[in-house]
Amino acid sequence: MANDLIINFAPTGLIPTKEMTPYVPVSVNEIIEDVHMAVELGISMVHLHAREEGTGSPSHKAEIYRRIISGIRSFSKDLIICVSLSGRVVNNFEHRAEPLLLDGNEKPDMGSLTLSSLNFNSTASINSPDTIEKLSSEMNKRGIMPELEAFDNGMINYAKYLIKKNLLHPPHYFNLMIGNIACAQADLLHVGVMINDLPADSSFSLAGIGNSQLMMNSTAIAMGWGVRIGLEDNIWFDSDRSKLATNADFLKRIHKLALVNERNVMSPGKLRTLLSLENGFGNYGRKITNE
C-alpha cells in the first residue's frame, strides 16, 4: 500500500443510540454535518449507515441514503462513499440491495460486503453464501465496488473463492475488523495472518472494535496501513470508559498519530486512483465492464 494513510470514517453504525451516547449522528442532517466536519479535518472515504427518521432505528431505505449522499456531495464531489448492506438487522436480499439502486449524483462508489455470517455479543449478522453472491453480482452489474469486511481468516478465504468464481475483481479493498468476541482477536498474530492471507492487489484498513480501536488504529498507522475510525466501532474515548467520544475526538487523535508517524492522509482522489474508481465530480463507482 502507498504510504499515505487511508482514513475510512464510520460515523454511525447500527448499534449506537442517543441513549448510549448523545454524540452519535443519527438523523440525515446530523450524519451530513459529521461527514462535513470529517472532510474538513481530512478523510479518504466514508462508510455510511442510514437510520429511520424519528425512531433512529437502522434503515436500508434508498431514499434515506439518497438524502445523505446528496448532502455530502453538495460539499465534497470526490469523497468515496460506501453504503452499508449489512445483514445484522435485515436478511432479505431485496431490502439489503436497495441502496445499490441509487444512480447519478447519488450513486454510491462502494457497498459493504461481509464475507460470512458471524456472532456479536448478543446478535448475529446473517450472510448466507447465496446472499453474498447475489450482492456481489448486483454490485458488478451496477458498477459499484464491494467494500470487503473480514472478521477472521475464513472470510478472507471466502473472498478468494469469490474471486475464482469471477464475482470479485481487482483491485480489492478490505476492512479487517479486529476484536469481535467471536472472531479474530486484537493481537499481532491474528492481524499478521489476516494481512498475509489477503489476495493480490488488495488495499486494507484496520478497525478495532470497542477497546481495541486505539490499539489497532495505532498499529496500522505505525505500520503504514489504513485505518477505519468512528463511533460505529466504539463510543468511548478512553479504555476506562469514563469519557464518551465524538467523531471529531477520534479523527483529531488519528491525525495526531499520523503526524508523529510522518504519514499524510490519502486524499479521496488518490484513493480513487488506487481502487480504479471513477474520478468523482458526477461520475461515481466503477466503470461497468462485461466481466
* pLDDT tens-place string over residues 72-105: 999 999 999 999 999 888 889 999 999 999 999 9
* pLDDT tens-place string over residues 153-200: 999 999 999 999 999 999 999 999 999 999 999 999 999 999 999 999
pLDDT computed for residue 1 by the predictor: 47
* pLDDT tens-place string over residues 136-150: 999 999 999 999 999
Q: Share the mean pLDDT of the chain.
A: 96
289 has pLDDT over 70:
no
pLDDT computed for residue 139 by the predictor: 98
Give the mean model confidence (pLDDT) for residues 27-31.
98
Tell me the three-class secondary structure of the chain, residue by residue.
Answer: CCCCECEEECCCCCCCCCCCCCCCCCCHHHHHHHHHHHHHHCCCEEEECEECCCCCCEECCHHHHHHHHHHHHCCCCCCEEEECCCCCCCCCHHHHCHHHHCCHHHCCCEEEEECCCEECCCCEECCCHHHHHHHHHHHHHHCCEEEEEECCHHHHHHHHHHHHCCCCCCCEEEEEEECCCCCCCCCHHHHHHHHHHCCCCEEEEEEECCCHHHHHHHHHHHHCCEEEECCCCCCECCCCCCCECCHHHHHHHHHHHHHHCCCCECCHHHHHHHCCCCCECCECCCCCCCC
Write down the pTM of the prediction.
Answer: 0.97
When pLDDT is cut at 50, 70 and 90, the band that residue 37 belongs to is: very high
Structural domains for the chain: 7-274 (3.20.20.70)
